[in-house]
Amino acid sequence: MSEQHESVLSALNPKRALGKCQYLLVGLLIMLIASPIGDQFGTTNYVLYATELFVIVGGLMALGNNRLHTILAIICVIPMVTTSVLAVIDDDVNTLHSGVSSFLFYAYLAFTLRRYLIARDRVTKDSIAGMLVSYMVIALMFASIYAFFELVEPGAIYLDPDRFADAEIKYGEIVYFSFVTQTTLGYGDITPVSKITRALAFLQATLGVFFIAIIVAQFISQYRHADE
């Protein structure tokens, strides 16, 4: 169905279903908001694994343009789901392992979203949601990388003991650190210690600034194209 037909359907049926990227955005927001709430009640792991399902479903909907994309997405999801199940039944597997295993899925999701957004010739609610999702997925990809180096070298990321009752770092805290770094807020409660995590933090902060500039430029380009 062409974009022109989609816009006509939108006008005729304003209550139609959300777009693919909008579903994915809802899933990501549920995961990012629900996980800290679960931490308050001591059920972080289970809440994280449960809310990841929303992200997986939203991701499969966003990636399911054809059979090949759906198959590749499912293949990328398998390690993520496997480690999540193992983390529930095996004490040797924790949220950091789950975070590392999610990298492949988020990387493929970011690549596919980028292709989807480039193909748009006008700004829509779904393309705006797609840009927000892309920004969040990049932060989650970096979180997976931070989790990997924390597993390889425990203490690579430092938690301020005055601000955290539990000195053991969890994936949710690394996700928080990743988003804080990407937005260049830098609260200082979680800091990179090893050389590699410092280099990654520098790279991510730089990428976060340029990503916003790219989003603005793309919006302007699409608006100009739509007016011509």
* pLDDT (tens digit per residue) in 158-212: 988 887 777 778 888 899 899 999 998 888 889 999 999 999 999 999 998 888 7
CA 194, CA 169: separation in Å to the nearest integer? 15
* pLDDT (tens digit per residue) in 79-88: 888 887 887 7
Range of the domain at 169: 3-227
Q: Is the pLDDT of residue 102 over 60?
A: yes
Number of structural domains found in the chain: 1
Q: How far is CA 11 from the centre of its chain?
A: 31
Q: Is the pLDDT of residue 55 over 60?
A: yes
Q: Is the pLDDT of residue 13 over 60?
A: no
Residue linked to tokens 């169905």 = 1
Q: What pLDDT is stored for residue 6 in this prediction? A: 45
* Contact between residue 125 and residue 165 where contact means Cβ atoms under 8 Å apart: no
Q: Is the pLDDT of residue 12 over 60?
A: no
Collapsing DSSP states into helix, strand and coil, what is residue 124? coil
The residues with which 159 forms a beta bridge, in sequence order, are 190
Output the pTM of the full model: 0.83
- Specify the CATH number for the domain of residue 15: 1.10.287.70
